[in-house]
Structure 1
């Protein structure tokens, strides 16, 4: 890979491809942007009393495993469920994808399947609704991407890229973006399929997100580099690498409500705060926990697994592989709370209108934490394997989880203030 900063900054998309996005330089609302984009082993208990004690212990274990706090279980998948998304308009439909090479769109209220997303050749790792809930995109590990119209339950577009690393809809237009293991970011207008590519050195584009203004996208790469792309011009606005970038692969990223700040997490154990206007790294947050549980390698680093911004308070959250959830004050960058889990954290999500942050972990539990006090306010069980993904509705009253036990579950969330 060419590490020349000049080369990285001057990278452009494939100029041979017709540009279909026309994003103005002036401030625009969602409708304007949408219009623009239109153009573009138990121990042996023995005998006697010990035998009875052994059976009691087994019964207790079984009872614990049977605890299920969920309101509904979706069990159509025949393999681990890797992803889940909730339709953003009504919050009444969910889509899940799994190792069985299938995705299902189903009703949250009763689990009834509306339709199945068929035709995938590998595990479906991404399944997401468009901004207006009219479309669903499903993508598998082999790079097959399909788009379905919810109203008619029909496939309206498909494409095949290299191994898929991430998949996301534009926040206010029928435009789909994806990152692949060859380092490219792709952008398509749906259903027409007009395409634009954003090329970078041969290094996996591990994570990506379109910023709220709809004009820019931030992408993290396997070498720790972070690039801020102009979606109209197809070039990089800022490149973060070397001392500013991460020392290892990007694992996660998030942006605040107005897109002025981006938070990134990495295999190197740190999270970084980036100002998207100035192109400066304005904060670095080191690993707050120890080595991952069960780690035998003294050099093994406590990966950052998930990051996120609170919408109503100047707080951020960083989740680590060892089960540490660190809450920081954004203005002072001081550690406010450490919320410890018994198992590694997979994902975190902030509620839209509160200071509650939810986590899912490898022990199969969903937990809610009050970021103001650092206390756990509730926890929910029901899965018999790790939770691999989850999502929340707008009110923070419902969570839908996807698990390695081949199930998705709907939980009604209760808190003291409700």
Structure 2
């Protein structure tokens, strides 16, 4: 039974938490500030009811500081490397500073709303704000599961305020001529590797980190004979790949996406592709020939080396290489391969835009050409949900159709620098 006692003009109620101290005595908690004894007693009875039914949150648990909980929560995660890096950044830069003076139990719905308004002031990108809020939501849901609070302060299934249509990034069509101009600019910046890089991304839709991490072992014409065969469970696939892909009559030229490169512990390391989306990507004849000749011209382990021969990720590709390639550059401005100092033209479809949009354009090409949804999504490294994903598979005719449509795009160009480089 709860115990009520008066102290001055207010009273407090004490109740047993269901726990005992190391010395065997019962552990009590209390709440003060009541001016009505009946209300205080009712509160104590409510607390004992929760103790009996195992749904109580002790003052001690709820008093855990938010920074302490966020550290413990992050340490419990087991995610892909880039996700761990992104979560750590979000917690350190945004969530911890804002909730540094809160305990886990103190964070309310109103605090969550205020946090959203704060993010609107400091983060102009809606995607960035949603990323922060998603991490915060997961941390608070797990705080409920850990018994640190009863409910999450994140509102669900309710809409407040005016409806706002989600803004989408404005994208332009990616005609083959635009890719050719990008490739020419890239050739001026870091040579034949730059030219082949742009056409490879446009034809395969590979993610930038996958292209940075592409090594000879997984590129035509060496693959699949040079496959590292690191997974013993994939023995059947290795055998089938040898019969289906490679250089020779009846075989399909292809790239194998097995890795990406990311920074960890101060250096570049290999990681599985995003969402573990390992996949085989056939390439059209023109690109197969381009890759074969490129690999004969340099000795780097990387298929697309930087100006210095190192990895493009180390060269800060987005800022140092991509911006002059897409936005254009004045004569003698920006990095260039030896002997190339002419001005670079702007590519309107990509000026001011991110490199990743070439991947988007690659998917648009596949859609335009009428390839099956399964073939398109599989090539992009996406999981196809439902029965379609279970029953469908990438067939040789599907792959040949993709190669044919991409070869036709290349041949539709009246003037191609690639013919002069490797013709």
**TM-score (normalizing by structure 2):** 0.22
**TM-score (normalizing by structure 1):** 0.23
Structure (1/2) with the larger strand percentage: 1
Q: Which has more radius of gyration?
A: 2
